[in-house]
A and B are shown apart, each in its own frame.
Chain A
Amino acid sequence: MISASSIFQFIELNNKCLLERHAFRDPFFDEFRKLIRSTVILLYQADGSELAEQFKSCLFELLTSPVPFKGLREKIFSFMGMQEIVSRRFGDEIAGNYKSLIEICGELDERENQICAALKNKFSLLSDTNFKIYCHSRSVVYYQSLYGQFTRNHFLTSDCDYRNSTPFDYLIKVGPLRSRGWGNIPDAIITAPRFLILEQFVWHGSGDEHDFGYDPVSENSTTLDEKYNSIAASKKQHAGKWEISLSEYLNESKTTPIDVYSKEADDFEVLRPYQRTSNNQFVSSTIVYVDCDSDSCIPYSTYSEVITFNPLTMETDAICNRIANNGLQKDSFLIRPPSQDVDFGDIHVRNDHYSLIWKNFLKSAIDRDCDQLIVSLREAGLKLITLKDSLSRWCLPAGSVIYSPQHKEHFKILIDVLNRLSGSNVFQNQDDWCLAWREISRSRGDACQNGINEQEIVMDQLISLLQSMIDDIRSRATSESTFSIEIPTGYGFMGKVLITKIVSVEHGIFVPRDVLRNFCSIAEVDKWRE
Chain B
Amino acid sequence: MLPMKVSENNEEWIDCPNWLSWLIQFGYNCVWMSGTRKILLLSMPCESCAAALVALGAMIRELTSQDSEHILSYWDSIVRQTNQYYQHCNNCHDLCNPEKKGCGFVAHATNKIRDSRRNRQISTIQPNTNSEKIEILSRNIKTTIMRKTPYPISYFQIDGGAPYCALNDSGKINLEPYQVICPTAILNHANLSISSSAVCLSGTVMGKEDSMRKYGSLRFQISEKVYTLFELLTIKEWSDQCSISRMTFYNSRTQTIDRHAGMSKIVIADGIDSLLSVLANREFQNINVVGLIDRTANRDKLETIGEKISSLRQWYKEFEYCDVQPCEGINLCALQRG
Is B279 located at the chain interface by the 8 A CB criterion? no
State whether A163 and B299 are in contact (beta carbons under 8 Å apart), knowing that A1-B217, A7-B329 are contacts in the complex: no
Is B42 located at the chain interface by the 8 A CB criterion? yes
Complex alpha-carbon distance, A4 and B275, angstroms = 21
Q: Are A11 and B309 in contact, CB atoms less than 8 angstroms apart?
A: no
Q: Are A187 and B299 in contact, CB atoms less than 8 angstroms apart?
A: yes
Q: Smallest CB-CB separation from A7: which chain B residue?
A: B46
0/1 per residue, B288-317, Cβ < 8 Å to A? 000001111111111101100100000000
Is B323 located at the chain interface by the 8 A CB criterion? no
Q: Are B298 and A4 in contact, CB atoms less than 8 angstroms apart?
A: no
Q: Which residues of B contact A507 (CB under 8 A)?
A: 298-300
Q: Which residues of B contact A508 (CB under 8 A)?
A: 298-300
A residues 314-353 touching B (CB-CB < 8 Å): 315, 317, 323, 325-327
Q: Which residues of A contact B302 (CB under 8 A)?
A: 187, 214-216
Complex alpha-carbon distance, A315 and B210, angstroms = 11
Complex alpha-carbon distance, A180 and B309, angstroms = 22
B residues 1-32 touching A (CB-CB < 8 Å): 6, 8-9, 11, 14, 17-20
Q: Are A4 and B47 in contact, CB atoms less than 8 angstroms apart?
A: yes
Q: Which of A3, A180, A327 contacts B11 (CB 8 A)?
A: A3
A434 to chain B, nearest CB (A): 43
Complex alpha-carbon distance, A302 and B300, angstroms = 10
Q: Which of B11, B17, B44, B333 contacts A9 (CB 8 A)?
A: B17
Q: Which of A2, A218, A326 contacts B331 (CB 8 A)?
A: A218
State whether A162 and B296 are in contact (beta carbons under 8 Å apart), knowing that A8-B17, A217-B41, A217-B333 are contacts in the complex: yes
A285 to chain B, nearest CB (A): 10
Q: Which residues of A contact B306 (CB under 8 A)?
A: 214, 216
Complex alpha-carbon distance, A410 and B98, angstroms = 44
State whether A11 and B209 are in contact (beta carbons under 8 Å apart), knowing that A186-B296, A186-B299, A217-B41 are contacts in the complex: no
Complex alpha-carbon distance, A5 and B306, angstroms = 27
Is B273 located at the chain interface by the 8 A CB criterion? yes
B residues 216-264 touching A (CB-CB < 8 Å): 217
Interface SS of B by simple majority: mixed
A493 to chain B, nearest CB (A): 27
0/1 per residue, A1-40, Cβ < 8 Å to B? 1111101110110010000000000000000000000000
Interface size on B, residues (CB 8 A): 45
A-B contacts, CB under 8 A, total: 117
Q: Which residues of A contact B217 (CB under 8 A)?
A: 1
Q: Which residues of B contact A218 (CB under 8 A)?
A: 43, 331, 333
Q: Which of A5, A217, A284 contacts B43 (CB 8 A)?
A: A217
Q: Which residues of B contact A217 (CB under 8 A)?
A: 41-43, 293, 309, 331-333
Interface SS of A by simple majority: mixed
Complex alpha-carbon distance, A159 and B41, angstroms = 22
Is B202 located at the chain interface by the 8 A CB criterion? no
Q: Are B209 and A8 in contact, CB atoms less than 8 angstroms apart?
A: no
Q: Which residues of A contact B329 (CB under 8 A)?
A: 7-8, 11-12, 192
B12 to chain A, nearest CB (A): 10
A residues 182-227 touching B (CB-CB < 8 Å): 184, 186-188, 191-192, 214-219
B residues 257-281 touching A (CB-CB < 8 Å): 273
Complex alpha-carbon distance, A9 and B296, angstroms = 17
Is A179 located at the chain interface by the 8 A CB criterion? yes
Q: Are A15 and B299 in contact, CB atoms less than 8 angstroms apart?
A: no
State whether A7 and B45 are in contact (beta carbons under 8 Å apart), knowing that A187-B302, A188-B295, A214-B302 are contacts in the complex: yes
A residues 425-443 touching B (CB-CB < 8 Å): none
Q: Are B298 and A216 in contact, CB atoms less than 8 angstroms apart?
A: no
A-B contact pairs, 9 of them (CB 8 A): A4-B44, A4-B48, A8-B329, A162-B296, A191-B295, A192-B46, A216-B302, A325-B298, A326-B273
Q: Give the top 7 A-B pairs by smallest Cβ distance, nearest first.
A: A216-B306, A192-B45, A4-B48, A217-B43, A3-B8, A188-B296, A179-B299
Chain B residues close to A by CB (< 8 Å): 6, 8-9, 11, 14, 17-20, 41-50, 205-206, 209, 214, 217, 273, 293-303, 305-306, 309, 318, 328-329, 331-333
Known contacts A188-B295, A217-B331, then 8 further A-B pairs from the complex at CB < 8 Å, ordered by chain A residue: A2-B47, A4-B48, A5-B17, A8-B329, A214-B302, A217-B332, A315-B209, A508-B299
